[in-house]
Structure 1
Amino acid sequence: MKTKLLTLAAAALLAACASPTLQIDRTHVSQNQDSRVQFLVLHYTVLDFEKSMKVLTTGGKVSAHYLVEENPARVYQLVDENNRAWHAGVSSWGTATNLNSSSIGIEIVNPGFTDSPLGRVYAPYPQAQIDQVLALSRQIVARHHIRSDRILGHNDIAPGRKQDPGPMFPWKQFADAGLIPWPDAAQVQIKQAIYQLAPVPDVNWFQQRLAQIGYQTPRTGVFDVATREVVSTFQMKYRPTNYSGDMDAETAALLEVATTPGGMLMKQPAPADSQARSPN
């Protein structure tokens, strides 16, 4: 009996020393917060659907939150939006670096480019696939309140190292959908006429303006390979018919308008019901 009493006493003592049950009051919510997701980054896969799915879901050390198939056009979620996917690699935009930690990545099934005797040829995107990417992007932007100037291509955040989603990606459709701003065409026309009659700005001007937008740009005053790659990346988005990387009059006009207050215009998104009725 004495041994039993000692055992009970010891158990009671241990119970008294145990940690209390954790109770968390969640009735008070701070107004001083936002989503950890600050960027939306768009890619192409360079692989077909089956290979893309395998690489993004197995041991390839690369992943994305979403994969968008081309035929049929279908969206697959591979990583929860609350988790970090490994899609951006070495990357930067403005003062932000290591964008895996603050972005959602969308991989789009597309073969990318092939090099031919006539030059590099990029593959087009089916419109039905783009419609899915647009719809998905709208939802992600709405959930996380992502700024319009932070909807980017992989090449924007890693110019030269990456080319995706390439010049065939229809960024203008994103502008028409009210997702990203676009250079005011009237202002661009006026500036281009001026630069066609006078010398275009020097490389220092180009480097400063590209860095102002957010591109990781050399500030050397030399038109080197790295600077040409950044110029080409800018052209892929805003003038995809010619992405030579040359500092010409039209590129200077686009760049000046893009970095001038009031130069970038935002369209109001169409109402949800009209979006639903719009043809693919």
Structure 2
Amino acid sequence: MRRQRKSIDVFNISFLDLLSGALGAVIILFIVVPKNENPVAQKPPQKQEVCVDNSQALDQCQKIVAQQQDLIKELNQKLKESIKPKKEDSVEKITKKQDDTSNTNDVGFNFKGKNVAFVIDVSGSMATDDRIGEVKAGLKMLIASMGKDYKVDIIYYPGPNRSSYYSLWGVLQSLHNLKVKEEVYGFLTRLTPNGTTPTRAALMYTLDQYSDLSDIVLLSDGSPTKSGATASPDNIDDIVKQVTTKNRLRKVQINAIGVGAKNFSKSSNLYKFLRNLTKSNNGFFYGF
């Protein structure tokens, strides 16, 4: 029993000696080996200590802080300037995208949409100075420029056999191929000036007939007359009121192109009629 206890004591002393030696080596290394201190890391505490104990140093610190604040403002300004062109680019891209899908820019007129009915005055006065020829040529060029997503119909007034109006199809037809456009060209070519100017009847028919209509384009060279063979003048203010009232819920954009420059004095009935009609129905008004 004594031998066994003695061997245990020897083992424990040796183990403690080993630990003590290792601890001593660590302490020696900690004291002898120079520490790798970072002088930059020590600066903030030194500045803080000086700022607290010395008023001059405090003033210096305040100046440094002010300089840093000015620098931050300058950097923020530069950051805003660097971001600004990107925002402008984004706006330009959005604007371009809107233009690509716009209903108004691809054919030169500010249409509301792409479902358009052309209402053409073919009264006898349209033969003067070949006004009907100008209308035909202009419409053919316009139809030629319209894309496949446009739907159109042509209504002229007065119609044949003393009728007040006549339409090509009676529905809005998609301009999806050249054959459809050629049908429109042929229809326009056959228009012949004759008769009176029953504008009211043609406009009311157009609003009634086309449920998906976005725009009406009225082309006329004369002040409206009453329906039928009579040449009695119609009441232009009453026409505007009736058409606008009927269109209040539909909100079809009614546009007008006046034909015959000499008719466009501001005192003429035609000018007053087309101006008031388009203004009351959010449309454009041009004359040639």
TM-score, normalised via structure 2 length: 0.27
Structure scoring higher RCO (CA < 8 A, sep ≥ 6) equals 1
Between Structure 1 and Structure 2, the one with more helix by share is 2
TM-score, normalised via structure 1 length: 0.27
